[in-house]
Structure 1
């Protein structure tokens, strides 16, 4: 029987698998989200801690004003609990390449002999390799990515302008061989503070130790044996770290005097060595100067002897040169006379040649003209011949035409004679005339012969033909007459051309004879000139030989002169050089004497100063920094993980409650639906416990499976999503998402208990009835008039379907309540997610654009506030600036206390240039008046203060005073108490000791943070400076990372809303399956059946959405207040878009679920559904 019972239980699961899967899905989403989000904070911390352990992150960094010697390092190693000690060199420098400059923190890598356990802050190589020599470096991978540095680039390291890098590094240029990540710099948005640039470092660089010029170490990194056992970001680790810091500080107090003595001893030894060097230098200088003076005296005597010898040699040289010049002058005179005669003769010959050339040119021209004339004569002859032939041809043609005309005329006259006197011609003559006429004109002879043969009818035709022929002969006669005239004219023209040609020929022959005579005369003249040219050439050769001799004499004279002058010049230059060297030697000797004396004086002064400084040298100060102080972003990660944890305290819990509530509804409806089966089991003898166990098994199996799957997914999915979001800001080289039993077991128990309690309570109520009652269907609730029926104006306008919907809504109040609550819960969760996003995003703009109006905050050197004000005022880019007192204080009200900042301005009239005091609601200005103080809103909430209340303010060096709240102002970061200078004097009885300067840029479009930082640093007018833009960017990055968490919340809430809507709609359909079947039997179409159900769903969804939006306001405020950190206040306003998006998403999910359920309604079988009760 038990076997059948369990089979029936599991068959129930399979039969209602949709319902089982719905419960499974809701529990999986609820538990998975709860466990995953709750585990995210711990996983973030554990993942980063694993990275710290893997990379051997330091626990403490120690910096000393006098550096560290080997005895200091040994002292660190001797401390109890010390695991690793790694001394290091550090510096703040600029890294520059191709116009790209960044402020970097520079560290030395461990030396080659460093033991593995002492290799602290181990780097993770991202690209390339580690340095192998002092000219190589590795750089921050994030900086390389942002600024475009690449492996293989050569970078230059340098300090501030005017500072010598050689005191820090042994070289300036380095080659990037790799990019790395460091456990000290997990926060990508911040690389710590710097003593150069604008006070902020942009990245880090690691060099070989040999690249540094320091004699002593500048920093020491320590780890402790017990630190690895304690996880970072826990109270245990913080307590251990605090104890180690105290231990190291105690060592510092012990070592400072010894270190001072070491430095003094080393300094005294250096001073003694330098004094001895100075004495030796004095003696060496005196000996050297005496030797130099004797050498100068010997040089002067030698120079004077050289001057006398130079004068004697110069006089001899001048005499010899003068004699040679006179001899050359005589030779030149004779040569010039010869050249004069030569030139005269040459001119005569040249003139003759020119005349000859002119005549020759005339003859050449004549020859050309004769050739042209000859060509014209020949061409004329050809033209005459051609014209004569043409004329003869035309004469022949004329003669032939005349003969033909005369024959035709004679034939025509014969025909006319025959026509007039036929008897006068014989038959042979007629045939001859016929033949001749036919040849002259086709058919004319036949007409003639026919007519002459007796055919008189041809007479008209014959007359006409003869007349035509006579006309043609007349035309030919006229043409022949014209041709005769043209022939006569041609003969006349030909005769004239013949005469012209003969005249041209005669002229050509005369010109040819004159040309031949000219050529003979030209050749005779050419022979005379050629003979004269030969004689001139011989004279020219004689003159050239004479000139060559003169030129060689001149060249020899020039060479001798140059050689002599060169020797004299060299002698003179040697003498001048000697005198110059002598004078330079005298001057240099004097200068060296003065320089040596100055150096001796400077050395004596430096030694005196060194002795004085040594007497004034104080014991070193050790700065012992834990991880939160030495590692940028270490604390930020802990705070961000804390924010995630704060959100996880409320949101996932409410999320899980909504899921549990829907599961409760599902199980309740299931048991009510199966009352018949419960009655059957009870009638069969099953005990109440067995029946309860069936449904409890159903619910518990779904809950446990859903919980297990949800946790398996949730523990992996949500922490990784959140860490991936925070990965934009932080390095997570190691990602850990373990299965956390401390969250898994409670989550599973809560889910199971909800089901167990629900099943037990509902089953107990049903089992109280008799089996016979249970096996009958539950009587439907009696119908009754609803409220709308009492309003006829509305009710009468409803159709049947609308009226049924209204009655069903008011009839099933429990179903309405559970549906509305489920939808409202999901809508409230989505609105809370959007509201959390709105609250986070408005912090940055409001705090740093509307409240904090200053652009920079400068901390002066101690008691140097006036110097700082003067230096700030001298900066051309800075406008308004003022003094402030800002102290960390403790505020108390009742049993509550809070750390706050007291802020007191010196000038009240410029206070509003830096801080805007106004309320959050309505943004009404709040005046800072004497006698009261103004506090920030989160401060007031934490201590439950309101305007007019009194609280106590205390602080180191200040008496406890009671202050009255005069106003509460909007503020989102930290807690402030604003007080006037007069109020300060009244309550503390002393003047404010201003320790801070706030300043604005004169023009927001013209800023130079780095320039101002450098200028103030050079004037030693500040300890540090903080630019609001840098703070704003860092805070913005920190806050915006929460968006990923909020996105996870919104998406998860949306998913839950969809599953809840689907489950509730599915339950509604299952409960009313017989009603739906009845509607189909009555003839309702599928769309009408769907609309019948959807109409109720839509109304309930709208109602639930409205309730959810209202509930979301309170839930979001609760979540926001819980998620806030102590020093941060989130925004309190929910944007209109957040309401709209939450409502629209809920309605969209409802529409989608209705579409899905439509297909299920179409599959409802009417007969089976109506018989389901049987």
Structure 2
């Protein structure tokens, strides 16, 4: 075997460029396949590991009347539950009276653990730990003083900053939720010693289930298990609620009962007095001023006592707000982002790898075909078929293994970690990216199939021929008239070199098809990458530019009462106009499918409403019909319905009603539905009461938005204000997290395209070395010899680019459909610059390959190339 082995190493040494290109193609394919497919699960696993280390609660419970140890015991009656009480409230404080989520700190807290980024935990009564966001965005520093507003109701107002930290309940550093204080937007959280909060009872109860911690927090199994636990907890607290109310009412009710008894006694005494006076006057009661005054006083006292009872009932009314991890700020958005990456990874790398595998198969096939004479020689020397085939199989195996192993390892340990680092807008996460053996073995299998499989298949085929036939060169393909020749006026005007190039293109059809496929694949991948970037960035622009035209929504405390809110708005310098709408949350069902948390808007004035929201289908404006429901495209896609279909709509605790889909409107962010007042009345048998104002503002700054929201909360009798600018920023921020991923796609696609083009050109030159040497001997200059090859490449590149545009659009549409989330649909968008960049890159690659080819052809050994094979 020594001569065979030496020959293999000599073959590698003599064609290092081809061997390296083969490895690079396999490496890039495996790197993208394994790395990108591991990115989405890696992001989820890393956050899952982080929140488990921080002991993030599975369920959080808020109560209007607080919690006691008995509430903790009630929660722990659910199997596996471990509950913990905390003091918590929203307060105002800081430099600009910002809304702050304030927690009470005590030693021994085990859930929702605070992770210190700098400084230490509070020890003394006058110390505070702030959110890391307060340091990064609001420039607070260790040792500074932090002052709360008087309305915070703390034992003292000023505290010394001793630390900064992160909480697992706030994984998104760009959002901290909303509140009913300040301007309604929570800026950051803070911890002070809980005794400083002057609260009689805990206001937050967290529950963690040890049995759920082995499940991934984003898995369906975890979500289903949590839903069951929440149902069990609600059942326990439905029993606990009356007892809690009774506890709260016990002391004040005893006092009221005592006052009632005293009042009843005074009433009896007054009745006795009246009877005595009546007896003395011979049965004729003559009321005196004193008795009249006492009667009025007793009546007033009774009225006051009755009101006190009503107030007590209102004050002790206990309602619970349930939160799972999905309800925490940014938690679902993070999951949606990782799901989008996973969805893209299920398509893009697979296509990428298929192109790489196809080119690899072609390369190995051509390599073995070129070695016909060697195979024939070894066969003539007496080597067996297995020994000869092993030579080329080992060659292909080496290239496949080296490329697959390096690419797979690099992909698994580099790309997910790079993407995780790019997600630094979230809390510092602990990287938890296990080696993806399944993806690696799949990539390895495909790589070996493309290399070893091709080598074995072609070698076995060649070995079927006799040594004498193998040692002779293959007869060149017969030239045939091509279609272009039949167009005589055009054919006559072509130069000799052009005619030769076109004939050669169609003479070697398999080479032409493979080159076009390779270039089309590369161009398509580049276009897809740029198109993903354009589509993702365009989501917010189209939603808040083409669909929504309002700048804020103001939720009213009482439906139909907007006088004070409008007065506050009118005082704002940026205010333009507003329109009242009824805003409801509904569920829409069809068959076994259901879409939850749908925002239903019913305008009071349909004509005015068009200035605030554009309803359209296929670029045509829609009007709200007198019957039926207009749904957004996302709902239609999820339920598989269209215009004319019947759906079931559930509002609150009411029974579901059957409604006809009147139209499907374009919408890219959020889940929306619309009805006219008449349609609303017909469907729900009640009038749509305006509980929200849609507001147009003139380019408000962030400070102006903050001031307006604060004034509306304080003086406008509103529940809160939401600005589209904040929603737009959130969507843009979340979407922009995919930009680095897209950049990686574009980079890998560009490298693959270059390697593919170089490799195919290299094969072309190697196959035609005798032909090129012949024309060089005939007197062709170096530039003419190069153009002999390059002219064909230019034509194939242009054909590949045209085909690649179609491939790119098809791939983009499919990926965007897969990447859509429950809240976002990405509008397919491809800016002109994306076409220009993709085409320019392919042309640059062609030019570089042309330059490398030119230098190679200048140094052809014509004598050696033209020697007779015999």
TM-score normalised by L of structure 1:
0.66
Residue 71 of structure 2 corresponds to which residue in structure 1? 72
Q: Does 1:653 align with 2:347?
A: no
Q: Does 1:1124 align with 2:816?
A: no
SS in 2 for 1:910: helix
Q: Could you give the per-residue CA deviations for residues 672-712 of structure 1, whole angstroms, max 9, x where no partner exists?
A: 11111222233334444444443333223212221110011
Q: Tell me which of 303, 320, 326 is aligned to 1:628.
A: 326
Distance in 2 separating the partners of 1:57 and 1:686: 68
Distance in 2 separating the partners of 1:817 and 1:909: 58
**Cα contact 1:47–1:732 (8 A) shared by 2:** no
Q: Does 1:106 align with 2:97?
A: no
Q: Tell me which of 363, 372, 378 is aligned to 1:681.
A: 378
Deviation, 1:740, is 1.0
Deviation, 1:171, is 0.7
Q: Tell me which of 682, 696, 700 is aligned to 1:1001.
A: 696
Structure 1 691/942 Cα, relative in aligned 2: closer, same or farther at 3 Å? farther
Q: Tell me which of 183, 187, 194 is aligned to 1:202.
A: 187
**Cα contact 2:540–2:732 (8 A) shared by 1:** yes
Deviation, 1:726, is 2.4
Q: Does 1:867 align with 2:582?
A: no
Residue 219 of structure 2 corresponds to which residue in structure 1? 234
Q: Tell me which of 694, 701, 705 is aligned to 2:398.
A: 701
Q: Does 1:909 align with 2:607?
A: yes
Distance in 2 separating the partners of 1:1082 and 1:752: 43
Q: Does 1:758 align with 2:454?
A: yes
Q: Tell me which of 818, 823, 827 is aligned to 2:514.
A: 818
Structure 1 256/130 Cα, relative in aligned 2: closer, same or farther at 3 Å? same
Structure 1 274/44 Cα, relative in aligned 2: closer, same or farther at 3 Å? farther
- Report the structure number with the largest CA radius of gyration: 1
Residue 238 of structure 2 corresponds to which residue in structure 1? 253
Residue 19 of structure 1 corresponds to which residue in structure 2? 18
**Cα contact 2:523–2:808 (8 A) shared by 1:** yes
Residue 91 of structure 1 corresponds to which residue in structure 2? 89
**Cα contact 2:57–2:206 (8 A) shared by 1:** yes
Q: Could you give the per-residue CA deviations for residues 169-192 of structure 1, whole angstroms, max 9, x where no partner exists?
A: 111111112221221111011101
SS in 1 for 2:721: strand
Q: Could you give the per-residue CA deviations for residues 976-1011 of structure 1, whole angstroms, max 9, x where no partner exists?
A: 3332222333455x2334364132135445884444
Residue 222 of structure 1 corresponds to which residue in structure 2? 207
Residue 132 of structure 1 corresponds to which residue in structure 2? 123
Residue 157 of structure 1 corresponds to which residue in structure 2? 148
Deviation, 1:1112, is 1.6
What pairs up with 1:835-914 in 2 under 5 angstroms?
Answer: 835-861=531-557, 864-868=558-562, 871-872=565-566, 875-876=569-570, 877=572, 879-892=577-590, 898-899=595-596, 900-914=598-612
Structure 1 1122/1088 Cα, relative in aligned 2: closer, same or farther at 3 Å? same
Structure 1 750/249 Cα, relative in aligned 2: closer, same or farther at 3 Å? same
Residue 52 of structure 1 corresponds to which residue in structure 2? 51
Distance in 1 separating the partners of 2:305 and 2:679: 54
Q: Does 1:668 align with 2:328?
A: no
Residue 936 of structure 1 corresponds to which residue in structure 2? 632
Residue 268 of structure 2 corresponds to which residue in structure 1? none
What pairs up with 1:474-873 in 2 under 5 angstroms?
Answer: 613-614=311-312, 618=316, 620-629=318-327, 631-727=328-424, 729-861=425-557, 864-868=558-562, 871-872=565-566
For the aligned residues, what is the CA RMSD? 3.0
Q: Does 1:39 align with 2:38?
A: yes
**Cα contact 2:400–2:452 (8 A) shared by 1:** no
Q: Could you give the per-residue CA deviations for residues 453-480 of structure 1, whole angstroms, max 9, x where no partner exists?
A: xxxxxxxxxxxxxxxxxxxxxxxxxxxx
SS in 1 for 2:561: helix
Query: Structure 1 stretch 37-46 or stretch 930-939: which is displaced more?
Result: 930-939
Deviation, 1:22, is 1.2
Query: Structure 1 stretch 130-139 or stretch 809-818: which is displaced more?
Result: 130-139
Structure 1 670/901 Cα, relative in aligned 2: closer, same or farther at 3 Å? same
Residue 137 of structure 2 corresponds to which residue in structure 1? 146
Residue 1071 of structure 1 corresponds to which residue in structure 2? 767
Q: Does 1:182 align with 2:178?
A: no
**Cα contact 1:722–1:1044 (8 A) shared by 2:** yes
Residue 1082 of structure 1 corresponds to which residue in structure 2? 778
Deviation, 1:746, is 1.2
SS in 2 for 1:1044: helix
Distance in 2 separating the partners of 1:128 and 1:897: 48
Residue 599 of structure 1 corresponds to which residue in structure 2? none
What pairs up with 1:290-309 in 2 under 5 angstroms?
Answer: none
SS in 2 for 1:971: coil
Residue 1057 of structure 1 corresponds to which residue in structure 2? 753
**Cα contact 2:249–2:316 (8 A) shared by 1:** no
Residue 177 of structure 2 corresponds to which residue in structure 1? 192
TM-score normalised by L of structure 2:
0.88
Q: Does 1:82 align with 2:81?
A: yes
Residue 292 of structure 2 corresponds to which residue in structure 1? none
Q: Could you give the per-residue CA deviations for residues 406-448 of structure 1, whole angstroms, max 9, x where no partner exists?
A: xxxxxxxxxxxxxxxxxxxxxxxxxxxxxxxxxxxxxxxxxxx
SS in 2 for 1:226: helix
Deviation, 1:124, is 2.3
SS in 1 for 2:245: helix
Distance in 2 separating the partners of 1:1170 and 1:713: 44
Deviation, 1:870, is 5.5
Query: Structure 1 stretch 25-34 or stretch 692-701: which is displaced more?
Result: 692-701
Residue 553 of structure 1 corresponds to which residue in structure 2? none
Distance in 1 separating the partners of 2:560 and 2:118: 50
Deviation, 1:108, is 1.6
Structure 1 887/105 Cα, relative in aligned 2: closer, same or farther at 3 Å? closer
**Cα contact 1:36–1:711 (8 A) shared by 2:** yes
**Cα contact 2:376–2:466 (8 A) shared by 1:** yes
Distance in 1 separating the partners of 2:43 and 2:37: 11
Residue 1032 of structure 1 corresponds to which residue in structure 2? 728
SS in 2 for 1:875: helix
Distance in 2 separating the partners of 1:272 and 1:891: 51
**Cα contact 2:75–2:237 (8 A) shared by 1:** no
Distance in 2 separating the partners of 1:205 and 1:272: 43
Residue 28 of structure 2 corresponds to which residue in structure 1? 29
SS in 1 for 2:123: coil
Q: Could you give the per-residue CA deviations for residues 876-909 of structure 1, whole angstroms, max 9, x where no partner exists?
A: 13522212243423143x7766555443222222
Structure 1 1123/70 Cα, relative in aligned 2: closer, same or farther at 3 Å? closer
Q: Tell me which of 676, 680, 687 is aligned to 1:980.
A: 676
Answer 1 or 2: which has greater helix percent: 1
Deviation, 1:962, is 4.5
Deviation, 1:1132, is 2.4
Answer 1 or 2: which has greater strand percent: 2
Distance in 2 separating the partners of 1:262 and 1:945: 52
Deviation, 1:1133, is 3.2
Deviation, 1:79, is 4.8
SS in 1 for 2:89: strand
**Cα contact 2:97–2:182 (8 A) shared by 1:** no
Unaligned stretches of 5+ residues in structure 2:
261-299
Unaligned stretches of 5+ residues in structure 1:
276-601
Q: Could you give the per-residue CA deviations for residues 744-792 of structure 1, whole angstroms, max 9, x where no partner exists?
A: 1112112212334433443343333222111100011122333334445
Residue 830 of structure 2 corresponds to which residue in structure 1? 1134
Deviation, 1:136, is 1.3
Distance in 1 separating the partners of 2:804 and 2:744: 20
Residue 811 of structure 2 corresponds to which residue in structure 1? 1115
Deviation, 1:1068, is 1.3
Distance in 2 separating the partners of 1:244 and 1:616: 29
Structure 1 1055/897 Cα, relative in aligned 2: closer, same or farther at 3 Å? same
Distance in 1 separating the partners of 2:20 and 2:736: 37
